[in-house]
Amino acid sequence: MIMKKEYIVLLICFVALYFSFPVQAFFTEEDYLKKDSELPKPTATDDDLVQKELVDILSHNDDALKVFDSRLAEYLLVKKFYNERNFQLVWGLHKSTNRKIIRELIKTLEEAYDNGLNPDDYHYSEITKLLDKLNDYGDFARMELLMSDALFKLVQDICNIRVSPKRVHAEWYLPVKKEVAVYPLVAQALEQNTLYRFVSKLYPQTEAYQRLREALIYYRAIEKKGPLPILSGVRKKIVPGDSGPSVYDLRERLRFSGDLHREAQNHIELYDDELKKAVMRYQRLHGLNDDGAVGQFTIDELNRPLAETIKKIRANLEKLRWQSEEELPTKYLYMNIPDSQLFAIENGRVQLQMRTVVGIKTWQTPIFTDEVEYLIINPKWNVPPKILQKEMLPKIQKGHAFLANENYQVRKRENGQFVLVNPNTVDWSQAKPADFQISQKSGRGNALGRIKFIFPNPFDVYLHDTPQKSLFKKDVRTFSHGCIRIERPLELAQYLLRDADSANKSWDEAKIKEAIASENEQTIPLRENVPIMIRYRTAWVDEQGNVNLRPDVYDFDAKLAKMLRY
């Protein structure tokens, strides 16, 4: 009996000792530390586990939070978004029922490419690469955040300005669209269950934008065909009637870009009429003299890499996204600096078109909107202080005989006032710009010509005639100090003044010429102010569907493309 009791006591002690050892001691390390890949895939009942990981990731107060290899660009918005929805999942990547919205997001990111944006700014490559390689709850949570960040960042870039116009050009004074709150837009896009369609409508819906978007798609398709044929070794202008390898190269280059029909095979090394028409059309669409002679400017344009043209189109799409959709006035003047042309537009139709000369790179014409209020016939030219200091005074110090020959008057500061003096009495070697005012009398040879069109502005910029008519024949016309010289001022004056004076007959050509012949300075107000819009566009598509390209004369596009990493 005693033996039996002792046996029972021993048995109890053994059992107690057995259970006092850690459980781990009875499992191998390999059994205990399972690999992530061996964890069960989340199922439709695992929302709470993914949410737990989501909460843990977003609990870090890090504005530069990274998931996988990407930093969340809109981390604060994303964090607010999930906090306010109590961490409810958006994409539900572990649910097969959510595949539609995931496909819509990917399609939405791909469409960004056709709008000139870079899908990889919105994690496109990382999302598509990792989407089918998620191993655990943490991966699902990280991908949830990455996809939401992609959507927030994309909507932000579509609806708001990525680079301030002032960083591109200090004197860019165009109205831009007001900042849009992105948060409610993203929430609305997800609620409506039509993500792709909703985001597509956020891009500008204007004809100008949509046409240029199609042009981008077109040029990218051309680029995929292979290297652009190059015109090399051309030693002289190629003109109609020429023949040889250079003509063959020209033909192939125009055919490659679709500027010459592919079926045009006759006289393949002869510059015939059909090729001439194609060259002239190409020149017109690139703002060159459409004379059919293929000189250096035309060759440079033909040899421009397609990658540069694509960057130019992307930069112009970006600028169109800056703008608020303003309603155009019934009657206005439009001047595009890179195009160097002025248009008078009324009821949507061009009434008048002429060439202009704009500011050189160091004296840029500003970009703004104003209203023409009056014009001056036989204007005087008061030399601006900046021109006096930088150009006029150094020229005078080399020899001042031109002052009298070109009808300049000199005023010198004496006792706090400027008084008229004889240039021959001035010691120009000691002259200081602040002590002088120089003006040119009206009449023949005046730098402003015979007519000046005034739209008062802080830049002291205006339209005016010029005695230097030969400059209008140039392919690139950047020669002024910022003001805009116009090719046919008499026609513009007649157009603007046709309703100027209700008491008398309209200012027709004869009356304007009579005023000019009087040699007297005369100010004539317009009956109604006419808006003038000065813009900077290097790529656009006209109403006939033709892509127009112009040189980036102030390097604004290049600067913008660099800022946006195009």
Q: Using one digit for the tens of pLDDT, what is the confidence trace for 22-56?
A: 333 322 333 323 333 343 444 445 788 899 999 99
Strands 436-440, 381-382: pairing is: antiparallel
Q: Closest Cα to residue 375, out of 527, 261, 245?
A: 527
- At 264, is the pLDDT very low, low, confident or very high (cuts 50, 70, 90)? low
Question: What CA dihedral angle connects 166, 169, 172 and 178, to 10 degrees?
Answer: -30
DSSP state of 389: I
Residue 289 burial (CB < 10 Å; 0-12/13-18/19+)?
middle
Q: Closest Cα to residue 535, out of 103, 71, 182, 208?
A: 208
DSSP state of 267: T
Q: What is the rounded CA–CA span in Å between residue 400 and residue 511?
A: 38
Q: How many CB atoms lie within 10 A of CB 22?
A: 7
Task: Check if the beta carbon of residue 343 is closer than 8 Å to that of residue 405.
Answer: no
Task: Check if the beta carbon of residue 368 is closer than 8 Å to that of residue 173.
Answer: yes
The residue ranking higher by pLDDT, 235 or 369, is 369
* 418: Cα within 13 Å, side-chain hemisphere: 11
- At 266, is the pLDDT very low, low, confident or very high (cuts 50, 70, 90)? low
How much is the pTM? 0.86
- Cα three-residue angle 196-197-199, rounded to 5 degrees: 70
pLDDT digits (tens, 9 = 90+) for 381-433: 999 999 999 999 999 999 999 999 999 999 999 998 999 999 999 999 999 99
Residues in a beta bridge with 172:
367
- Total residue length of the chain: 566
Q: What are the tokens at 325?
A: 């959709």
What would you report as the CA-atom Rg of the chain, rounded to the nearest whole angstrom?
35
Q: What is the rounded CA–CA span in Å between residue 78 and residue 84?
A: 10
Task: Check if the beta carbon of residue 87 is closer than 8 Å to that of residue 176.
Answer: no
Query: How confident is the model over 102-117, as a mean pLDDT?
Result: 96
DSSP state of 411: E
Q: What is the rounded CA–CA span in Å between residue 482 and residue 303?
A: 30
pLDDT digits (tens, 9 = 90+) for 524-543: 999 999 999 999 999 999 99
| Residue-averaged pLDDT of the chain | 88
Please give the C-alpha separations between residue 311 and each of 31, 175, 339, 550, in angstroms, as whole numbers: 57, 24, 18, 13
Residues 6+ apart with CB under 8 A from 517: none
Residue 518 burial (CB < 10 Å; 0-12/13-18/19+)?
exposed
- At 96, is the pLDDT very low, low, confident or very high (cuts 50, 70, 90)? low
What are the backbone dihedrals phi and psi of residue 352, each rounded to the nearest 5 degrees, phi first? -155, 140
Quick one: CA dihedral 40, 46, 49, 51, positive or negative? positive
pLDDT at 319 over 70: yes
Task: Check if the beta carbon of residue 306 is closer than 8 Å to that of residue 228.
Answer: yes
| Residue 565, phi-psi category: left (phi > 0), alpha (psi -120 to 50), beta (remainder) | left
Q: Taking the mean position of all CA atoms in its chain, how far away is CA 397?
A: 43
Using the CB atoms, write b or e for 437-471: b if 16+ within 10 Å: bbebbbeeebbbbbbbbbbebeeebbbbbbeeeeb
pLDDT at 453 over 70: yes
